[in-house]
Chain A
């Protein structure tokens, strides 16, 4: 077949997938994406229901796309135009499910050996031993999944998948429910393993923390479509879709009306909700009079007890403190400015500014902290 650009690098995974799901009752869902994953971790990020797991199922061959093409390391695994469909057992993919799906009736060792059935006994034993060691679970080899703790189960599931020398590793939120330290330790083991193997890893998550911790490259999905792709900072800091914004932790999501555009300055003025409150935001694809959504992180808002002067920030909004609520080492303040803003501040700031409910305050928003959402 012709030399396709994406196949020059032998280990790249490319997938163009279109799959329609006609749910009973629920609105039909269309997954329509084109992705490319090079060796290393590529994060698939999006709210639940965005189509992340369906995408992984299609790549693994557990679900069959209506249309499209999936190729890995130069081999075509699926091509609707040419009628190619390689069944999952022949794809040499590794897939770690959210539930891990360890075989409950087999020991850790037998679970790991499951994918090596075609190997001679001796070799199989060596490989199982080696991978159990690499993931630090060699002591558990005789135990069954029911007798093993959460983090160790995750390691065994990873070992079981990776011992087969897959060409792609698919991870569907495999580390949910683990504390940060354990998560980091497992990710380190995974990275160490992958420096030698250099395969693409597709890592599905809806957790922003995991994106920050793992991030090499992020593909953001919403409602079955890729909404943005690139480095984690670029993708997550400029959400273009409302649900992605919610998933990415934008606590303030406000509807607004566009008042006027100032192309020269690269900004436009909008009015928030039904209030008199007007702010300046980066120029977006919108006409004067149209409705838009604007997302602002609670941690990106400054709070002052006097009207500030001499600031570069363009948006200073007067309001009244509604409530202060301590959550761990952070205080969540709600401020009424005609619309309600959520602002995160430190307990120290609350004391220093003597903030109380009912107090008059000013919120300061940088223009570029206000993100326009489709």
Chain B
């Protein structure tokens, strides 16, 4: 149960952080006319294709005592970043980034441009246009982004193992816990935990589909 609580806490933090930093990134990707935009798009999509171990490996190196992030963290807080809950959040944010940003981009792009023109001509700047027009009309996308990054973080394994290790109460998430129990042949306990994860994931995805009422494509054909 401790692992489940930890996973939920992690997924909630990650989803919240991703909404905050994913929104400006998605806004920029949806509306910028910069020719080099494809580069950032590729970067954002990278976690979709990379094996979690690769991402986890680089995250671990960066967070290690000699890595740039690790050094910075140590200077700020007096302890390392790797194998901590904070490190886990950071790695998970990277790993789930496309799952938050992509639905946001899709929904921002789906807002009729004429509505934005209308808003601007009526005297609203881009910030007010965003709050009053784009965001309310993109709510299904925001819900999808939150729910998918939550669910994706809840089920991650490779990155957590690489960056967090397996410390009970600190970094031992549900998926690691299940792996542990299988290793030690506790199939019954593993099964119970796996069922809980399955149920949560199903419930969460149902929310996404109910909100959108249509099949959501993680990476729409363009």
Residues of A participating in the B interface, judged by any CB pair closer than 8 Å: 60-62, 87-95, 97, 99, 101-105, 114-115, 117-118, 160-161, 164
With contacts A103-B133, A104-B137, A114-B132 known, is A93 near B119, CB below 8 A?
no
Least Cβ distance of A104 to chain B in Å?
A: 7
- Please determine whether B122 and A114 come into contact, CB atoms closer than 8 angstroms: yes
In-complex Cβ contact of B121 among A89, A99, A103, A105 (8 A): A89
Is chain B's binding surface mostly helix, strand, loop or mixed?
Answer: helix
CB-CB < 8 A to A94: which residues of B? Answer: 121
In-complex Cβ contact of B136 among A105, A117, A161 (8 A): A105
Q: Does B112 contact A (CB under 8 A)?
A: yes
Task: Give me 14 A-to-B residue pairs in the complex whose CB atoms sit less than 8 angstroms apart, sorted by A's number.
Answer: A88-B121, A89-B120, A89-B122, A90-B123, A95-B118, A101-B115, A101-B117, A103-B118, A115-B122, A115-B123, A115-B124, A117-B123, A160-B122, A161-B122
Look across to chain A and name the residue whose beta carbon is closest to the beta carbon of B118. Answer: A101
Q: Does B214 contact A (CB under 8 A)?
A: no
Least Cβ distance of A107 to chain B in Å?
A: 13
With contacts A62-B120, A95-B121, A115-B122 known, is A101 near B112, CB below 8 A?
yes
Q: Give the distance in Å from the alpha carbon of A318 to the alpha carbon of B31 in the complex.
A: 63
Least Cβ distance of B146 to chain A in Å?
A: 19
CB-CB < 8 A to B192: which residues of A? Answer: none
CB-CB < 8 A to B35: which residues of A? Answer: none
Q: Give the distance in Å from the alpha carbon of A161 to the alpha carbon of B119 in the complex.
A: 10
Choose among A60, A89, A93 the residue with the greatest number of B CB atoms under 10 Å from its CB. A89
CB contacts between A and B, total, < 8 Å: 60
CB-CB < 8 A to B68: which residues of A? Answer: none
CB-CB < 8 A to B123: which residues of A? Answer: 89-90, 92, 115, 117-118, 164
Q: Give the distance in Å from the alpha carbon of A90 to the alpha carbon of B117 in the complex.
A: 13
With contacts A101-B112, A114-B132, A164-B123 known, is A62 near B117, CB below 8 A?
yes
CB-CB < 8 A to A60: which residues of B? Answer: 117, 121
Least Cβ distance of B137 to chain A in Å?
A: 6
- Please determine whether A103 and B124 come into contact, CB atoms closer than 8 angstroms: no
CB-CB < 8 A to B121: which residues of A? Answer: 60-62, 88-89, 91, 93-95, 161
In-complex Cβ contact of A117 among B112, B128, B137 (8 A): B128
Q: Does B222 contact A (CB under 8 A)?
A: no
Sample of 10 further A-B pairs with CB below 8 A, known A87-B120, A95-B118: A62-B121, A88-B117, A91-B121, A92-B123, A94-B121, A101-B115, A102-B118, A103-B118, A104-B137, A105-B136
Least Cβ distance of A110 to chain B in Å?
A: 9
CB-CB < 8 A to B133: which residues of A? Answer: 103
CB-CB < 8 A to B137: which residues of A? Answer: 104-105
Q: Give the distance in Å from the alpha carbon of A163 to the alpha carbon of B137 in the complex.
A: 24
CB-CB < 8 A to A103: which residues of B? Answer: 115, 118-119, 132-133
- Please determine whether B125 and A99 come into contact, CB atoms closer than 8 angstroms: no
Q: Give the distance in Å from the alpha carbon of A117 to the alpha carbon of B122 in the complex.
A: 10
- Please determine whether A97 and B114 come into contact, CB atoms closer than 8 angstroms: yes
